[in-house]
Amino acid sequence: MARPQHATGTAERLARNDQAVVLSAVAAIVLLSALYTIFGIGMNMTAVEMTRMARPVGEPMAMGAGSPWTAGYAVLIFLMWWVMMIAMMTPSAAPVLLLFTAIKKAGSHAASAPLLSLLFLSGYLLAWAFYSALATTLQWWLETMGLSDGPMMSLSSRALGGALLLAAGAYQFTPYKHACLSHCRLPVQFLTAHNRTGLAGAVLMGAHHGTFCLGCCWALMLLLFAGGIMNLYWIAGLALFVLAEKTFPYPRLFTAAAGALLCLAGAYVLLTAF
């Protein structure tokens, strides 16, 4: 029996409403995270001020001693990293999030589809919380070893900056990069292969997808150490690059071209360091 037209129209309107709820929540999260990052809440300087004083890779402006690494300061740096990752990575997760919403809406969990989608997003962001904890530890180590300028939050060694660019470029050609990127670019296959049910299942699926995304983008995110962790040009540039990498056609060509450019930039920085 054919489905009544008015019932079909109602279902489509409800699906659009659910997607609007999810997109509104995502937009609010990204906006709040971006504002937190731009104004550098809790930091001595805002991201705008740090961006204005940015120098070439490995040549930060001398600003004196940085803040001591207390437990409170470590938590503040972790929040800085995590909120920044939320602002940068959430837009690129929107396609899989909307598809997840549509699948749940069409199944037996239609009423709870928006809630499940937000739980999926929470799991995704938990994966980046793990990365942020590692990045915070790395930042502490670099500052302790005198390889990073504390106030400007960027590498103080031009040679190390060049090596980091080279390493990020080389990772673009690895099978691990392409395997993780394929999961990010093909959300239908991911959601089909890794489907879980229930509230906990939504969180685990989000964390699983976030792990693939982390595997795809971790080296790119480390480039913030080279350009300046709070440098808005690098933050915006990397966020747009990640979004393009997940959506543009011919992903292998795009990834290879980006890898080659990073390697060339790294080689230039490394050679001019001496």
In this prediction, residues 69-81 reach a mean pLDDT of 94
In the structure encoding, which two tokens stand for residue 131, read together?
A: 């990365």
Instruction: Give CA–CA dist 174/166, Å, rounded.
Output: 13
Residues in Cβ contact with 236 at an 8 Å cutoff, skipping those fewer than 6 apart: none
Lowest mean pLDDT of 17-21, 30-34, 183-187, 201-205, name the range.
17-21
Place of tokens 């300061």: 73
Highest mean pLDDT among 102-111, 148-157, 255-264: 255-264
Which DSSP string do the residues of 26-89 spell out, in sequence order? HHHHHHHHHHHHHHTTTSSS-HHHHHHT--STT-PPP--------HHHHHHHHHHHHHHHHHHH
133: helix, coil or strand? Answer: helix
9-30 pLDDT per residue, tens:
554 555 567 678 788 888 899 9
Which residue ranges make up each domain of the chain? 5-272
157: helix, coil or strand? Answer: coil
148-149 and 154-155 beta bridge pairing = antiparallel
User: Is the pLDDT score of 1 beyond 50?
Assistant: no
% of residues, the chain, pLDDT over 70: 92
Residues in Cβ contact with 92 at an 8 Å cutoff, skipping those fewer than 6 apart: 184, 213, 239, 242, 243, 246, 247
Cα four-point dihedral sign 31, 185, 80, 149: negative
- Predicted confidence at residue 104, as pLDDT, reads 84
Of the two residues 104 and 182, the one the predictor is more confident about is 182
User: Is the pLDDT score of 226 beyond 80?
Assistant: yes
User: Is the pLDDT score of 88 beyond 70?
Assistant: yes
**Taking CA 30 as the corner, what is the angle to CA 25 and CA 34, rounded to the nearest 5 degrees?**
150
Cα 26 to Cα 92, 98, 101, 123, 261, distances in angstroms: 11, 10, 13, 14, 32
